[in-house]
Amino acid sequence: MKIDTHVHTNYCPHGSNDKMENYVRRAIELGIKKMTFTEHAPLPIVDTVPTKDSAMDEKDIYEYLKEVKGLQAKYSRKIEINAGFEVDYIEGFEQETRLFLEKYPETIKNSILSVHFLKLPDETYFCIDYSKDSFIQKGEELGYQTLYSIYEKTMEKALSEPFGTMTPKKIGHINLIHKFQKAYEHQDTINWIKLLKMTKNNSYTLDYNFAGLDKSFYGKTYPNEEIISEALHLDLKLETGSDAHKPEEVGRHFIEREE
């Protein structure tokens, strides 16, 4: 069955202003039978990126969930539509994130847990996927090995059910740290097999995310083919996601592979 379980909306401040219904219509046009909206949940920290546009505003949550319900009713005979969040695991803010999830327990089964922000040695937070220039600057400042090591440890915590029964059990773009890897020199020392075994042992699903194919300094899926091979060897469950931020990106790259 064709599914897209990682889709953003006009409630995302760094996305498109297109209506959510346009995403649904695009999915139906492509023959997708199940789609899940996973808007970026409000951050428990002050947004560290210059544009301050990493996540949705808390005041928009009610309208977001209400709109999904309306679309579910309107298109129920054509497509299954679900509502979730893309929730950030941010070290040190586990309690705040759990309290947020407790407000919307019905969304947890449809949500994604991702790592975008790293807690650095100076106690500040750094967004790893904001821009090539910011990543290179931080890599040269701290050392790429330090960034990769922090990412690995942060991912281990995200894969350890940090919010207990409230933890979303799908891990988003597990190797997002690679987003700008063509722009610098570094030998990756992350133990991906260990992370995949944690994914398996704690019953997480992998977000098989095709957005990376459109990233100039990466050009691969998240996870990449090597990690996917290991994941399949471990019999991990994968769910395709476009990480669409505009309607034309729904089902990108993987729909034609399924034809």
Mapping DSSP to helix (H, G, I), strand (E, B) and coil, where does residue 206 land?
A: strand
pLDDT of residue 255: 85
Mean pLDDT of the chain, nearest integer: 97
User: Taking every pair of C-alpha atoms in the chain, what is the biggest distance, in angstroms?
Assistant: 54
Render pLDDT for 211-235 as a digit per residue (tens, 0 to 9).
Answer: 999 999 999 999 999 999 999 999 9
Residue 65 has pLDDT above 90, yes or no: yes
SS3 133: helix
* Res 214: pLDDT: 98
Calculate what percentage of the chain has a pLDDT beyond 90.
98
Task: List beta partners, residue 40.
Answer: 86
Beta-carbon contacts of 14 under 8 Å, excluding residues fewer than 6 positions away, are: 51, 53, 54, 245
Q: 64 near 39, Cβ under 8 Å?
A: yes
Give the chain's end-to-end CA distance (angstroms, integer): 11
Question: 146 and 135 in contact (C-beta within 8 Å)?
Answer: no
Per-residue model confidence as pLDDT tens digits over 84-131: 999 999 999 999 999 999 999 999 999 999 999 999 999 999 999 999
Q: How far apart are CA 205 and CA 213, in angstroms?
A: 21
Do 150 and 119 meet the contact criterion of CB atoms below 8 Å apart? yes
Structural domain containing residue 56 = 3-258
Average pLDDT of the residues in 4-27: 97
Asked if the model's pLDDT at residue 1 lies above 60, the reply is yes
The confidence score (pLDDT) of residue 125 equals 98
Gyration radius of the chain's alpha carbons: 17
Q: E strand or H helix at 26, and its extent? A: helix 20-29
* Predicted confidence (pLDDT) at residue 154 exceeds the cutoff of 90: yes
CB distance 223 to 177 below 8 Å: no
- Asked if 50 and 20 touch (Cβ cutoff 8 Å), the reply is no
Instruction: Tell me how many domains the chain contains.
Output: 1
CATH number, domain containing residue 145: 3.20.20.140
pLDDT higher than threshold 70 for residue 259: no
pLDDT band at 257 (very low <50, low <70, confident <90, very high): low
Answer for the pair 144, 101: CB distance below 8 angstroms, yes or no: no
Q: What pLDDT does residue 32 have?
A: 97
